Structure 1
């Protein structure tokens, strides 16, 4: 079995060395590497058997860099045959995570406009449909989501990130410079990504900032149906796992959003949704 740094050096054709770990996610071990020819690249090592690398190797060429907003694939060991674990090597994008912007409204608008650009990418390959298995999750919003599930699955599909939240974006100053972690990319209705990001913004701020994001998305992408129903679906998906998100927020500078705090904020948002009459 080849050491992962030796594998990276072989793939890139030059020596590499570790610079530092990259924080903000728990799905993979992520490190910043320096190459002997002056570049910086990102190495991601996933748990054995994880299909994430296989998925990213399919979607990153499709994105073609997304005009500088998505990483480019440099090398992959999808099944860990060379390194022992699924391993991915991608270009480094400029910027760092930002969950406490100076201007949250401008920050939210950029999140909305960028998501619209992602959804506009033509899909020329077959991607999984995360709605095919039916509604999953629990919590008070579940019954309404299940009752109206036919409305969600009937909507047109686009390229979706499937984990589009602020922690998977990079920023230089007040400018969004990249979107990372494409291992979940799928073919799904636009509302899935929109509601997932709205939930993140509600956990970080409130529904007003989430609405700023949604308005910016609509301005760039056009009308969007059933936002409130998608909100209920996102809350249902998060209900059984919300405490596990705490390390992701802590790694990006929000240790105040620990398990109990996240549960409390999700509960209050769920109560708001269930108090409304479904439309």
Structure 2
């Protein structure tokens, strides 16, 4: 940072990255970075909110995403290309509030680490139980709107994120139900009609106004993909089941259809996607639960989340008997 910049104690912008960001500021208006704040709650990338002030008193806020962890740096180019492509598509979407793309450096040609610069959206993520029913309704409407986006070029195909051989069965889980679930995802992938997917749509990536009457933004488009709507819905269902209790998984799926979203006609195909997504969480329970606790849900220990995942998977497999 230069001498004009200030930062909170937990945030910095590295020299080369700062110089890169300044290339996209309005020099004629005297724009400069005056504050840097760390944004918490993410898992894969370092997030910084930049306050940019102009000569005469005007100001705006930007967000800088940088992949700094070696594990994610190796995957950053694809992720940032996906996000940049998704934000470009969504620039013309009126029903989806997404950040505006300013610039991307996916190979770290200019920055210390692969980075993306975008506009900052108002609102905040809400992870508490209060008012959840209304937020689920808003979430479902927003996801249906995302799936209605028709890009000129299809984004890359979705990634399943788990296999039958990588599932981690929680200690004390219902072994019979989990064995049946693992066998289910060994079956061939059901046919589907591809749609534009967010691929990580959940309460942590959705911003609400205060009080929460509308969604002000959807963030983290690094997994934007082309694939079955059932997979995006399944991911939201699992997140809600782990955050708020297993019953919320089905409630979200119902709300999505009520909002006009279209799922697979066959109940067995719906179950396949729900189970596949839930089993993917078994491999990263600790990683998923940590930002929830940091956001104030301190009761969501790894053990509690594993218990909810077991209950959710068991419930899904119990429903399979009626199909």
TM-score by length of 1: 0.91
- Residue in 1 aligned with 2:207? 170
Does residue 50 of structure 2 align to residue 33 of structure 1? yes
Alignment of 1:1-279 (within 5 A): 3-13=16-26, 14-37=31-54, 38-47=59-68, 48-49=73-74, 50-51=76-77, 52-64=79-91, 66-67=93-94, 69-100=97-128, 102-130=130-158, 135=163, 137-138=166-167, 139=169, 140=178, 141-147=181-187, 149-151=188-190, 154-173=191-210, 174=212, 175-225=214-264, 226-277=269-320, 279=323
Pairwise CA RMSD: 2.1
Relative contact order, CA 8 A, sep 6+: which one is greater? 1
Question: How far is the alpha carbon of 1:133 from its aligned partner?
Answer: 9.3
Supply the distance in 2 between the matched residues of 1:96 and 1:18 (Cα, whole angstroms): 19
Structure 2, unmatched stretches of 5+, are: 1-13, 170-177
Question: How far is the alpha carbon of 1:188 from its aligned partner?
Answer: 0.7
- Higher CA-based Rg: 2
Question: How far is the alpha carbon of 1:193 from its aligned partner?
Answer: 0.6
- The 3-state SS of whatever aligns with 2:217 is strand
Q: Retained in 2: the 8 A contact 1:112–1:216? A: yes
Q: Retained in 1: the 8 A contact 2:144–2:259? A: yes
**Alpha-carbon distance change, 267 to 211 in structure 1, aligned in 2, over 3 angstroms:** closer
Question: How far is the alpha carbon of 1:190 from its aligned partner?
Answer: 0.1
1:101-152 Cα shifts (integer Å, max 9, x gaps): 53110011111010000000002213221258995642522211222x332x
Supply the distance in 2 between the matched residues of 1:93 and 1:101 (Cα, whole angstroms): 23
**Alpha-carbon distance change, 75 to 193 in structure 1, aligned in 2, over 3 angstroms:** same
TM-score by length of 2: 0.79
Supply the distance in 2 between the matched residues of 1:31 and 1:106 (Cα, whole angstroms): 30
1:216-242 Cα shifts (integer Å, max 9, x gaps): 211223442233222111112111212
